[in-house]
Structure 1
Amino acid sequence: MRADAPREVVIAVAPNGGRRTKADHPAIPLTAAELARTAAECLEAGAGMIHVHIRRPDGRHLLDADAYRQAIAAIRAEVGERLIIQITTEALGIYGPAEQAAVLKAVRPEAASLAFREFAPDAASGPAFADLLDWMKEHGVLPQIILYDSSEAVRLAGMIKRGSVPWTDMPVLYVLGRYTVSQTSRPADLLPFLMPGAPQFSNWSVCAFGKLEAACVVAAALLGGHVRVGFENNFHLPDGRLAGGNAALVETVASAVERLGYGLADAAAARRLLCAR
């Protein structure tokens, strides 16, 4: 990239999550075919990555290697390599760390997100978490560590400083808020992660909840971060109207980012920008 070129922002779409169903929004993608169509629409709207959850036939959250392979194959058939496909290892109160790790290893995806509080809730769980990261580095699986508050960022930074994990800098996702019905995140929710003295990760992204999702993530982009939007956390446009689909949320943020003079990272750029070091 030229020295005078605009900074590129990676937009990831999280189109379904593990909780919401067609009863919440008829356009939420739950099947492999629906995920593939959504991936193509969001690629066109400006996304460089898709964050994938899979579901059981009754709509419940699922971690299953075969189902993940089917979803990945469907998305690849639709968009090729033009999106990073990141799978979730989220427990949702159903799975334990050993089950989560086993599915990750069986799928061996391009990228995966791991919630720090699920894999490393205390000091005793740290070695197993570090071993899983060692495996990810060995097999070329891009990690993204999900952090729900600044105390988790401090603990992760401590592990990195001690050399307990195989990278000196890893991609992280700051979650602004919680999965509750009435949650509406605000841009100021990002400040505890970025305040003076807080751990500094060179590669960070943000997701937020509710109709201010776009405001939160655009603020993050202006402050040097990347962004994640989608039906996992929000169904509404900034003016409060119900979005017709995930692509509308992606397009809203992509348009704002570009109007502010930033570039949009395609998958090739995203693979470079989101690397672990």
Structure 2
Amino acid sequence: MKPADISTLPKIMVAPNGARRTKNDHPALPMTVHETVEAAKACYSAGATGLHAHVRDSTGTHVLDAHRYLDLLSEMNAAVPQMQVQITTEAVGKYSPGDQRQLVRDVVPKSVSISLQEMLSDGQPDRAHAFYRWAFKAGIAVQHILYSTEDLMRFSEIAIRGDIPGNQHQLLFVLGRYRADQQSVVSDLDPFLEALRSVEGNWAADWACCAFGKRETECLVYAVQNGGKARIGFENGLWNRSGELARDNADRVKDLVSALGD
């Protein structure tokens, strides 16, 4: 079987668990490495070609644990080698930028997502820039998580300077992060699109978006219609476009595939 291509983002990437939700939120939410791999297999069959992966410790708590990530990557390579696997460095308020950088150095994954805000939060941009240059030389595909248009413009400034090297960058626009009810709407994407147009020509963007709540599918269809890609799954939303609770992550992928077909 042909290994996954990391040079571009998959059209549909599934985020099956995230850092915070548990089986109390949905019994089909994967918590262990084995459950995550089984969910990924089902989602691949449903139409997702990428996995955005979080790992948990024995208590179910989100951790940045190199050994657990290496176990997951090994199992995914055996089970679904065609599926791109992207590990996360999400801080959840307890990990420092240094911890995040060390995780990536220890795992050396093919693909990783990193919040620009989090990576620059310690006021040591030179260390962050050195890390980005190292990751580029190591051939690691970094998807930069951007929560606002301010994040996007800041990213563009750094990329133009060359402190985030490369001519094409993988981005994730997070829709509705700062809404009190965490319910994204389609129009949340428009400011990102406008800001992206303003920096076009300085570098190329391979971008996707994620959305929270019951309009997740609608928001992701709008992203694809506007040239983007989609990250879907129980990390952000538990409901299909009908308003009904999804059976599992594969059901969310099927819902999006159906909506894109419509």
TM-score by length of 1: 0.86
Give me the CA root mean square deviation: 1.8
User: In the alignment, what sits opposite 2:4?
Assistant: none
Task: Tell me if the contact between 1:108 and 1:141 (Cα under 8 Å) persists in the aligned partners.
Answer: yes
Task: Tell me if the contact between 2:10 and 2:50 (Cα under 8 Å) persists in the aligned partners.
Answer: no
Structure 1 position 248 matched with structure 2 position 251:
yes
User: In the alignment, what sits opposite 1:32?
Assistant: 33
How far did residue 182 of structure 1 move?
3.1
CA displacement, residues 188-209 of structure 1 (integer Å, 9 cap, x when unaligned): 0001111266434531100000
Bigger shift: residues 162-171 or 61-70: 162-171
Comparing both chains, which one has the higher relative contact order based on Cα–Cα distances under 8 Å and sequence gaps of 6 or more?
A: 1
CA displacement, residues 78-97 of structure 1 (integer Å, 9 cap, x when unaligned): 11x21000000010001101
Cα distance in 1 for partners of 2:17, 2:180 equals: 15
Amino acid at match of 2:28: A
CA displacement, residues 209-261 of structure 1 (integer Å, 9 cap, x when unaligned): 011000001000000001100000111111111101001111111222234xx
Partner SS, residue 177 of structure 2: coil
User: In the alignment, what sits opposite 2:214?
Assistant: 211
User: In the alignment, what sits opposite 1:105?
Assistant: 105
Count of aligned positions: 250
Partner SS, residue 171 of structure 1: strand
- Partner residue of 1:229 out of 229, 232, 236: 232
Cα distance in 2 for partners of 1:217, 1:199 equals: 23
Task: Tell me if the contact between 2:97 and 2:121 (Cα under 8 Å) persists in the aligned partners.
Answer: no
Task: Tell me if the contact between 1:154 and 1:198 (Cα under 8 Å) persists in the aligned partners.
Answer: no
Amino acid at match of 1:16: N
Amino acid at match of 1:165: I
Cα distance in 2 for partners of 1:77, 1:179 equals: 39
After the TM superposition, which residues 1-277 of structure 1 pair with which residues of structure 2 at under 5 Å, given as runs? 10-79=11-80, 81-121=81-121, 124-178=123-177, 182-195=181-194, 198-200=198-200, 201-259=204-262
Change (3 A) 1:32 1:171: same
Bigger shift: residues 8-17 or 220-229: 8-17
Cα distance in 2 for partners of 1:179, 1:38 equals: 29
In structure 1, runs of 5+ residues without a counterpart are: 1-7, 260-277
Cα distance in 2 for partners of 1:131, 1:233 equals: 31
Cα distance in 2 for partners of 1:82, 1:134 equals: 27
Cα distance in 1 for partners of 2:223, 2:244 equals: 23
Task: Tell me if the contact between 1:235 and 1:242 (Cα under 8 Å) persists in the aligned partners.
Answer: yes
How far did residue 181 of structure 1 move?
8.1
User: In the alignment, what sits opposite 1:273?
Assistant: none
How far did residue 72 of structure 1 move?
1.4
Bigger shift: residues 191-200 or 133-142: 191-200
Partner SS, residue 124 of structure 2: helix
Task: Tell me if the contact between 1:13 and 1:230 (Cα under 8 Å) persists in the aligned partners.
Answer: yes
How far did residue 169 of structure 1 move?
2.7
Amino acid at match of 1:18: A
Cα distance in 1 for partners of 2:22, 2:178 equals: 14
Cα distance in 1 for partners of 2:175, 2:140 equals: 25
User: In the alignment, what sits opposite 2:5?
Assistant: none
